[in-house]
Structure 1
Amino acid sequence: MEIERKFTVRQLPEDLARYDSHLIEQGYLNTNPVVRVRREDNTYYLTYKGKGLMAREEYNLPLNEQAYNHLVSKADGNIITKRRYLIPLPPYTIELDVFMEPFAPLIIAEVEFPTEKEAEAFIPPEWFLEDVTYNPEYHNSTLSTKKF
């Protein structure tokens, strides 16, 4: 089960380069239910996500590079590329996604939680702006269908 909240960002934290980060590329084979393939640096996987906005089922299966390349070529819509920064906010980690073209300058902060109760009690840091957890327009699967 994935339990997360999503936020737009008022301003970027200073010196982002000091945080660990990953280059992510992903394509969607289906958006209802969500079936996606992702490359995160040199790791590849297929993900299934169930229905829901803050909490939903999520299953990841490993892929090799050849399988990823084969499947991503079959993706519908936009391929999403972003740099994900991992920013500690004990006991949590902020996953700050800085999207590349054609989605730039979109920046989304996500925080995952072990329980819905913790997610609902979370008080975001000052540099977060709008809580978009319940706005499906900010789901990557929705972005993959956006027309430019």
Structure 2
Amino acid sequence: MEIERKYLVSEVPANLKDYHCRVIEQGYLSTHPVVRVRKDNDSYYLTYKGSGMMAREEYNLPLTAESYEHLLAKADGNIITKKRYEIPDGTGKTIELDLFEGVFSGLTLAEVEFESVEEANAYIPPSWFTKDVTMDTAYHNSNMSKKVVIKP
């Protein structure tokens, strides 16, 4: 079970280089249900996500690099690319700060995962989080993969 809240942020911490960074690339084979392939640094996964907004089932299966590349070529829509910084929030939680690249360059989202829905509902975000977009499907990566992006 994945339980997470997602936020827009007002500013990015100046000391990002001090935190662990993962380079992520992912494509969607299906958005209903969500089936995605992801490269996370040098690891590869096929992920199934059940329905839900803040809490939903999630299953990850390991892939080889070759399987990932084969499946990524079959993905629909936009390939999502981002750098994810893991930032301790001072309460024992880790903020996963996503700086999007490629077609979504400039978008920055923060996610925090929880052990229970009650814990998620009780979470008090840091002051640099501006808007809770957990329930806004526009910020689900699976929906972003379907957006038409026009660059000048």
Provide TM-score, normalisation by structure 2: 0.96
C-alpha displacement of 1:138: 0.2
Q: What amino acid does structure 2 have at the position aligned with 1:118?
A: E
Letter in 1 for 2:64: N
Shift of 1:59: 0.1
Shift of 1:14: 1.6
Q: Distance in 1 between matches of 2:11 and 2:66?
A: 38
What residue number does 1:113 align with?
114
Counterpart CA distance in 2 for 1:33 and 1:129 is 29
Q: How many residues align?
A: 148
- Taking the aligned partners of 2:16 and 2:42, their CA distance within structure 1 comes to 21
Aligned-pair identity in percent equals: 59
SS for the counterpart of 1:102 is helix
1:7 Cα offset (Å) = 0.1
Match of 1:85 in 2: 85
What's the CA shift for 1:104? 1.2
Counterpart CA distance in 2 for 1:14 and 1:71 is: 37
CA RMSD between the two structures: 0.5
Where does 1:1-148 land on structure 2 (aligned, <5 Å)?
Answer: 1-89=1-89, 90-148=91-149
Distance 1:21 1:113 in 2: 20
Q: Which runs of 4+ in 1 moved over 2 A?
A: none
CA deviations 1:87-114 (Å, max 9, x no partner) are 0123110000000021010000000000
Q: Tell me how far 1:64 sits from its aligned partner.
A: 0.4
Q: Distance in 2 between the 1:81 and 1:101 partners?
A: 6
Letter in 1 for 2:95: I
Output the CA distance in 1 between the equivalents of 2:120 and 2:81.
27
TM-score by length of 1: 0.99
Unaligned stretches of 5+ residues in structure 2: none
1:102-141: per-residue Cα shift (whole Å, max 9, x none)?
A: 1010000000000000000000000001000000000000
- Give the drift of 1:45: 0.4
